[in-house]
Structure 1
Amino acid sequence: MEPAIMRAGWELLAERGYAGLAFEELAERAGCSRPALYRRFANKRELIIWMLDNAARDTDPALPEHVPPRTVLIENLWAFVRHLGGPAGVATPELAQARRRDSELSAALDALYERERQPYLLALSRALKDALPAADISALVDNMVGAVLFRAGLQGQTLKLAQVEQIVDQALVAGRAMTRKARR
């Protein structure tokens, strides 16, 4: 039942937007009952977070330990490109609008983002030998993720791996420059 709910949820979100997503139509498309949906999800906010969480997990890279930080950054950012190239990419602009109208959705999306950005924060901090404060590392991560989100998620560009590598390398260069400046 979950794959059918996921598929129907993405379809409806793309067609009707967050505000127009109704459990009744979702249940019909997924081939289940509305009460079955409500047993699983208290509301559409929970449904959306579940959909995004599962879509993100489907593209997360499986990396062995002791992979160089640059590789971790590239693989995670490349996974994000794939994530945005799937159903979640269609929903990204709509959810950006919906979060303005729904503070609980906004808070849930923020919590999901914080969890998803942990591999970036750890890898970038490791790459820069823990020489920058957490706020600077966080800003660099936001710049990397934001570049991909803007290009792939909002503009619908098809990014190549070389472009992802360039984004990561720019963040590393900027981080090293910040580290040198902080030491002066």
Structure 2
Amino acid sequence: MPPQPRRGRPRDAQLEQRIVAAVLTLLGEKGYDGISIEEVARRSGASKASLYRRWSSKRDMVLAALRAGPAQDGAGEAVDTGSLREDLLELCRRLDRTMRRTDARTAMLLLEAGLEDPELCAAIETAVGPTGARLPRAVLEAAETRGELPPGADPFVFEEAVGSALLLRRTNGLAADASYLEALVDAIVLPGLRASAALGRPLPAGIFSGTPTPAPLPTAPPHQHPSEETP
């Protein structure tokens, strides 16, 4: 009889739920930089060894928590409805669901982490599938093939307008229902995508692109000597 394959230790579903809850709570309290293996272990009642058996790094642990939490709806599924408009609406719905599965502060802190760490932003999209934060290149290419977009359309319009609008509505407690998303796509995104192709030049990176250009820090006014002060 051939030897039976060795089985690893069975997963503890309840423990993993506590770990996910601890990671998401810390994300909302302290942001990505405030999460540590030690604190997650303490809050979840897990040992550090059990965490490292599951994930080799903090980033992998956070990605797993996002996959099991805010981004679980539609995670891993490519967007391909056969229509550019419907693809855009599906991406908008995904991003809105992702944002609303967590509190506004967590959404803001996660965005902040992605802006500071472009690799984290890219890893989230890779790990959980299209979340709606970015416009996949495959969606643009399919639309060009179907003749819905001219070649050269830039994802800036989608990533800047949709990401900013939905984040603003989320943080202010405003709904983004079907009619709102349709207006966003029909009045802003679709015309903007067509216009971007006609510009013939690259556009700035959108807020959720992972590579936006930060604003320069304000410079302090020159120190005025007391004798120079206006009486």
State the partner residue of 2:27: 13
- Aligned residue in 2 for 1:131: 150
In the TM superposition, residue 176 of structure 1 has moved relative to its aligned partner by 3.4
**Deviation readout 1:25-72 (Å, 9 max, x if unpaired):** 312332321111122223322322333344465122868965422112
Asked whether the equivalents of residues 18 and 44 of structure 2 are also in contact (C-alpha less than 8 Å), the reply is yes
Residue aligned with 1:27, SS: helix
Query: How far apart, CA to CA, are the structure 2 residues paired with 1:153 and 1:45?
Result: 25
Distance 1:70 1:87, change over 3 A: same
**Aligned residue pairs: how many?**
177
- Mind listing any 5+ residue stretches in structure 1 that lack a counterpart? none
The residue that corresponds to 1:87 in the other structure is 102
* Residues 1-184 of structure 1 aligned to structure 2 (within 5 Å): 1-55=15-69, 57-60=71-74, 66-87=81-102, 89-99=104-114, 105-113=117-125, 116=130, 120-127=136-143, 129=147, 130-133=149-152, 136-152=153-169, 154-169=171-186, 170-178=188-196
- Unpaired segments ≥5 residues, structure 2: 1-14, 201-231
- Given the superposition, is the C-alpha separation of residues 66 and 161 from structure 1 closer, same or farther in structure 2, using an over 3 Å criterion? closer
**Secondary structure class of the residue paired with 2:31:** helix
Deviation digits for residues 117-166 of structure 1 (CA, Å, limit 9, x no counterpart): 67654334444525131xx3322332343234532455554322221111
More moved, 51-60 vs 6-15: 51-60
Q: Greater RCO between the two (CA within 8 Å, min separation 6)? A: 1
Q: Decide whether the 8 Å contact of 1:23 with 1:37 is kept in 2.
A: yes
Please say which of residues 16-25 and 27-36 is displaced more in the overlay. 16-25
Partners of 1:106 and 1:140 in 2: CA distance: 19
Q: Deviation at 1:111?
A: 4.0
> Matched residues in 1 for 2:44 and 2:96: separation?
27
CA distance in 1, matches of 2:74, 2:157: 20
Percent identity for Structure 1 against Structure 2: 23
43-52 or 109-118: which moved more?
Answer: 109-118
The CA RMSD measured in Å over matched residues stands at 3.3
The normalised TM-score by structure 1 is 0.72
**Deviates further, 5-14 or 140-149:** 140-149
- Assess if the C-alpha contact under 8 Å between 1:59 and 1:80 holds in 2: no
Q: Which structure: greater helix fraction?
A: 1
**Secondary structure of the equivalent of 2:72?**
helix
Deviations 1:96-133 (A, max 9, x none): 444566xxx43122343476367654334444525131
CA contact (8 A) 1:99 1:106 kept: yes
More displaced 10-residue stretch of structure 1: 56-65 or 120-129:
56-65
Question: 1:121·1:137 contact (CA, 8 Å) conserved in 2?
Answer: no
